Structure 1
Amino acid sequence: MAPPTAPGRLVVTGASGNVGTGVLRALADRLPDTHVVGVCRRPPRLVPPYDRVEWHVVDLGGPDAADALEPAVRGADAVVHLAWAIQPVRAEQELRRTNVGGTRAVLRAATAAGVDRIVYASSLGVYAPGATEPVDERWPDSGQRTSAYSRHKVEVERLLDQYERENPGVAVARIRPTLVVQRAAATEVRSLFLGPLVTRPVLGLLRDRRLPVVPVPPGLALQFVHADDVGDAVVRILQRRASGAYNIAADALEADALAGVLGARTVPVPRSAVRAVVAGLYTARAVPVSPGWFDVALNTPVMDTTRARTDLDWTPSRSSVEGARELLDGLAEGAVGASPALGGPGSAG
């Protein structure tokens, strides 16, 4: 049986961000005849991949978000919901208004428009800790209670569960990517997680493999995925009208592989000690990353991507090593993207 036709009109929320930029590139390459509507707070300059997009300015954290979305979603066949607020972590209710309340607004607008496909960008952060082997999409998605990010992602997945029950004719898919990387996202990643304490010269030393040792908590296993590979997965889901959850990640980068990327010897440091340092720096407002983010990074299981590879014929084009090197190079160079969300023009304020 042939897959359904590509959506004629597609709405992408958060279209100017890290994941959104990868999705727009994939859409331009693979679905050039689809009319793409981008929703964000600060539209980018009309340069590739943003130049073929009809832009609508909507604050999903606003009380009238569903009404504001109506012109953008009117006549749409599908919605890809990528918008998400990560900072400021200390303002959890503000984040919740955008993340959970904004998702409710998107679902309400999608229902009113009669869309038949919804793709939501969930996260590895929905998975409960405790696995000793890579986990597939059936692993408990109860998240990690210490992380507001994880709690909100779990809450939205429960909203999607309810939406699916109430709208059986809509194909609802949720992708669960790990850390999404690309060179252009370096400034965004630094501002969200590193802050000014980790300077570009330090990042340059890491990039140039000039640090002799790097402290690493035991059992560390990081997975990255390139924004273009996430975009490829989203397009495949849209083309197939696929539903359900999909882990989206490259291979696991363990301590030895990380040492190879950095050209340094890893020194084991107890997790409790590292977490205490992160907590102290966060309390002192020296870094934006919270202890909850540390817990997500260290305790989330490695993800098995068999379902995406089998159902979508998806494979990552870049390994975690390649993704880490691209991001690290961007961090050392202070790379920015063309959109305000990625540190480009209009990003101030």
Structure 2
Amino acid sequence: MQGGVQGPLAGYATTMRVVIVGASGNAGTALLRRLRTEPDLDLAGISRRKPPGSGPYADVPWLTADIGAEEDADSITEFFRGADAVVNLAWQIQPSHDQRRLYRTNVLGSRAVFRAAITAGVPTLVQASSVGVYAPGPKQGFVKESWLRTGIPESSYSRHKALVERVLDTVESDHPTMRVVRLRPGLIFQRDAGTEIARYFAGPLFPRGLTRLPVVPRHAGLRLQAVHADDVADAYLRVLRSDARGAFNIAAGPVLDADVVSRAFHGVPLPVPGLLLEGAAALTWQLRLQPVDRGWVKLALKAPLMSCDRAAGTLGWRPRTDAISAMRELLTGMADRAHTGSPPMTDDPGRPGRFGGLLRGRLPGQGNPY
């Protein structure tokens, strides 16, 4: 690779082979869509179930493998051989009632990906982390990448992100010649993820035609950051086109709070105590009415706001789509049941988290939707 940080359009003398693990999900679909426009990139994907050979998934060699399965470790290692970079996006959010399965994929599976990359001699490893890796932080200021990375204890998603970064710390220390990069985005939105996100976070009882939010809960802690999936993909490309190391926060403005969201979506801000939000989530989750447990509420209330100055200064990254536009696109996608043909983003009505799945006894938060 050429030295120094390069722009996403910078030319390379030779082809760069990039293997994307978890390439058929929300971020993976956007990343394939972006990287396939680069003529010098040779792309390959890994997913538990092979996506259709059309759209962004076309003309990409695929390995069907489960990163959490020991029997697939050797085939993943062989698939990595000769790669210039591995981008690990694989992550499982549901089923939220099966914590062993989530830990197996998220923590043990990520560790298996790292081991395979080391064994295969891959020079660059890029890991999809998250704002969820951070300890509780300010909601009126912005934290840098050096903020404490102990997660939000009540959130299994956050705990897993923190554990994976600890493993990555060891990889970085033990293998100093390997370039290790972590991207920590906020909420990732795009139209094509409308069906997927509704299934994973809202469940079958969510009104699908909703493009405005009549009531928006107001709480001092409910200040969140979002980013469009295409902007996240651009950040990954800039990382691949550079020799940068370390972590990068990735988010767009404005910060999403009750006032901003209610103005944009014609809603009425309604003050709600945090304990009530947590209690409602816990009760409805226990009753299998929706798939989001109390930990997600704690994460929303406690996660800090992130400064993206390092991404701007080192990578030259700036979002093209603001957070409100990205959120509007997502809500429209949810209303229109936007999807792709990949298994995670399918519109199959019988999948867990859809109404057809409910009729078949597949309750929210149960059954593997991937």
Is the structural similarity TM-score above 0.5? yes
Instruction: Give the gaps of 5 or more residues in structure 1.
Output: none
Range that drifts further, 276-285 or 68-77: 68-77
1:214 pairs with one of 208, 213, 216? 216
| One-letter amino acid matched to 1:21 | T
* Structure 1 runs (4+) greater than 4 angstroms displaced: 1-7, 344-349
Q: CA offsets per residue over residues 288-339 of structure 1, 9 Å max, x none?
A: 0010011112211111100001100000111110011000111111111231
Tell me, in whole angstroms, the C-alpha distance in 2 between the residues paired with 1:110 and 1:2: 23
Q: Does 1:234 align with 2:236?
A: yes
1:261 maps to which residue?
A: 264
| 8 Å Cα contact 1:339/1:345 also seen in 2 | no
Aligned to 2:9: none
2:157 corresponds to: 149
Contact 2:227 2:321 (8 Å CA) reproduced: yes
1:241 Cα deviation after fit: 2.4
Aligned 8 A contact 1:180 1:224 in 2: yes
Report Cα offsets for 1:3-52 as digits up to 9, x if no partner: 584762111000010000111112112x3221111000111112221113
Taking the aligned partners of 2:278 and 2:222, their CA distance within structure 1 comes to: 13
Tell me the CA shift for residue 208 of structure 1: 4.4
2:291 is aligned, of 280, 288, 292, to 288
Indicate yes or no: 2:130 matched with 1:101.
Answer: no
Offset, 1:344: 4.8
Superposition deviation, residue 122 in structure 1: 0.4
1:181 paired to 2:189 = yes
Distance in 2, matches of 1:2 and 1:277, equals 50
Alignment-derived partner of residue 251 in structure 2: 249
The secondary structure found in structure 2 opposite 1:303 is: coil
Matched position secondary structure for 1:294 = helix
Q: Which runs of 5+ in 2 are unaligned?
A: 7-11, 352-368
Q: Match for 1:18 among 19, 23, 26? A: 26
Instruction: Measure, in 1, the Cα distance between the counterparts of 2:248 and 2:326.
Output: 20
**How far, CA to CA, are the matches of 2:318 and 2:197 in structure 1?**
24
Match of 1:321 among 319, 324, 330: 324
For residue 133 of structure 2, the aligned residue among 121, 126, 129 is 126
Q: Which amino acid aligns with 2:340?
A: G
TM-score between both structures, scaled by the size of structure 1: 0.93
Deviation readout 1:227-283 (Å, 9 max, x if unpaired): 111110001001102210000111112221101121012111111111111111011
Match of 1:278 in 2: 281
| Amino acid paired to 1:139 | W
From 144, 153, 167, the equivalent of 1:159 is: 167
Q: Is the 8 A contact 1:181 1:224 kept in 2?
A: yes
Which whole-Å CA distance do the structure 2 matches of 1:191 and 1:214 have between them?
20
1:60 and 2:49 are equivalent in the alignment: no
Instruction: Let me know the Cα RMSD of the aligned residues.
Output: 1.8
> What residue number does 1:82 align with?
89
**Using the alignment, how far apart are the partners of 1:126 and 1:50 within structure 2?**
30
Identity of aligned residues (%): 44
Name the CA distance, whole Å, in 1 between partners of 2:114 and 2:195.
31
Contact 1:173 1:244 in 2 (8 A): yes
Q: TM-score when scaled to structure 2? A: 0.88
Q: Distance in 1 between matches of 2:41 and 2:350?
A: 28
Provide the secondary structure at the position in 2 that maps to 1:15: coil
The answer to whether the 8 Å contact 1:219/1:255 transfers is no
1:330 and 2:333 correspond:
yes
Residue of 79, 91, 98 corresponding to 1:72: 79
Contact 1:103–1:156 (CA under 8 A) maintained in structure 2 = yes
Q: Residues 7 and 238 of structure 1 are in contact (CA less than 8 Å); yes or no, is this contact kept in structure 2?
A: no
In 2: Cα distance, 1:25 partner to 1:200 partner = 26
Residue identity opposite 1:214 in structure 2? V
**Is 1:339–2:347 an aligned residue pair?**
no
Between 160-169 and 336-345, the greater mean CA deviation after superposition: 336-345
Once residues 7 and 151 of structure 1 are traced to their aligned partners in structure 2, the CA distance between those partners, rounded to angstroms, is: 37
Matched to 2:153, the amino acid is: R
